[in-house]
Amino acid sequence: MLMQERETTYKKHWLLALGCWLLALGVQAQPVYDIIKKSPGYASCNYDVYPDSMPDFLSAPPPGKFPFYISHYGRHGSRYINKRSGYEIPYKMMAQANGVRELTSTGKRVFSQMNVILEDSEDRWGDLTDIGKMQHRQIVRRMFSRFPEVFADSVCVSGRSTIVPRCILSMEVALMELAQLNPKLKITMDASKSTQWYMNYQDPVLKQSKLRPAAQKAYDAYIASRTGNSRLMEMLFQNPDIVKELVDEAFFNYYLMKMGLFQLNTRFSDDNYLTDLFTTDDLYRMWQIDNALWYLQYGFCPLNGGDYPYSQRHLLRQIIADADSCLRQDHPGAQLRFGHDTVLLPLVCLMGIDGYDLQTTDLDDIELKGWWSSSVFPMASNVQFIFYRSDPSDKDVLFKVLLNEQETTLPIRTDCAPYYHWKDFRRYCLNKLDRYEKKLSNEKTKKAKKG
């Protein structure tokens, strides 16, 4: 099937899901349960699929201000699951149960479906899918049509990617699309180890403290009533009680659900047999479990040290430094960066976009207060900084942040929301980073003295 035909097919398939997803992205007026009911993929958090179209509405800039520069960090598009081990947990359990003839007819069909999925994924672990490529082409097309002034004539567009192949290919697809839209653009690209220190920085110190005892305790208590699925066990196994010797109910339920939802990233098929095994209740509980874990590990959760978003301090400083440099140019063009969910989520938290800098010790709070990771980092998710000014001599540069192409709020004052004064945001971020780095430095000094 040709690419254009495929894209048309996608549009039909995803039209329904789009509506609810957009609601989740925007005002978050709907409860998560309702979103999942209409769009099951939302339950898979970082495995959710990016919508294939967006509403055109964006707030008009203050009079006399025009977009002139875009700074972007985007996650790679939809991909195959990273490693076979992601599927092996439920598969091995099913294989063992099949070996002792414990599968029901539904169980046998599920097992057969799992075999097809494994075969389809073999040697494609982590690969960008055709859906993933389409996502980036569409995002770039929208960026180009929304902000044509930024991409006028022969301005420079630089693409940078982490050294992971799916990110490199996402970058290439996006830049090729831009080249088609305006062949005069001066486009460069790179994917180098020399930029990993900010493009894909995984802080070894903060990572070590990913789940502290207090966080683990709160998490265990939170998920206690949400794991397991006896209904599923009865559907798939002839003797669910006995088969528990082979199949861990909680693990099996979680991983089988993930396996089913993941296929939305790889297939054009309407066959949702695996996901149809699960009720909205099941999916919703899995989302709660996952969302809580993402918050504990990647958000400003005080139970777990409350500092993880600072892992992206180098990236934020680089974004600011790049902007400082580009603001001095007459036609700076755009800087597009391609990376990962584990960078994008903490970056969004660090900047306090849409209240994602939430700090709470009550895990029930995170859902109530709108900390919904699925709205931040689906496949191909992105943050775009759109800069505005009246002319190159304009000292009062404004900007707005688009999270997944929707306007956001920032934790600073402004007189022209959703537009903010760049110098205010710059100061806010640099002060915040300086305070953290000072704290780090003090801790090091204390340790050295003790040592």
Partner 1 sequence: MQYDYTIMKLTKKRVLAAVLLCGAVNATAQTVADELKADLRKVAGLNYALPMTELAQETPPPAGKRPFYVNHYGCSTAYYLERPEYYDVPYKTLFQADSLGKLTPLGRKVLEKVRLLRSDALNKTGELTEYGKWQARQQARQMIKLLPDVFTDRCYVDGRSIVQNNCLLTLGEVSLEMSSSHSPMRLNVDGSHRSQMWMNPVDNVLEAKRTDSVAMARYADFIGRWPPDDIKLMGRLFSDDDYAKRIDASALSRQLFDLACSTQYAGVKDGVSLFDVFTPEELHRHWLRRNAWAYIRYGGCTLNGGHQPYEQRRPLWNLIHQGDSMLHLDYPVVHLRYTKESMVMSLVCLLELDDFGVQTSQLDSLESLGWADYRISPLGGSMVMIHYRSGKNDPDPLVRVLLNGREARMPIKTDCAPYYHWEDVKRYYLRKLYAYARERNDV
x/- binding map, residues 68-107, to partner 1, per CB under 8 A? ----------------------------------------
Question: Using the rule CB under 8 A, is 179 a contact of partner 1?
Answer: yes
Does 185 engage in binding with partner 1 (CB under 8 A)?
yes
Q: What angle do CA 86, 88, 92 make, to 5 degrees?
A: 155
Minimum distance from residue 300 beta carbon to partner 1 (Å): 31
Per rule CB under 8 A, is residue 125 in the interface with partner 1? yes
* 173 touches partner 1 (CB under 8 A): yes
Residue 3 engages partner 1 in binding (rule: CB under 8 A): yes
| Residue among 117 and 243 whose Cβ is closer to partner 1 | 117
Region near partner 1 per CB under 8 A, out of 81-89, 187-195, 362-370, 428-436: 187-195
If the CB atoms of residues 137 and 285 are measured against partner 1, the closer one turns out to be 137
According to the binding rule CB under 8 A, does residue 189 interact with partner 1? yes
Residue 130 or residue 394: which is nearer to partner 1 going by CB? 130
Does 2 engage in binding with partner 1 (CB under 8 A)? yes
Contact between 127 and partner 1 per CB under 8 A: yes
* Binding track over 131-170 against partner 1, x by CB under 8 A: --x-----------------------------x-x--xx-
Total residues contacting partner 1 (rule CB under 8 A)?
A: 32
Point out which residues bind partner 1 (CB under 8 A).
Answer: 2-3, 122-125, 127-128, 133, 163, 165, 168-169, 171-173, 175-177, 179-180, 183, 185, 187-194, 196
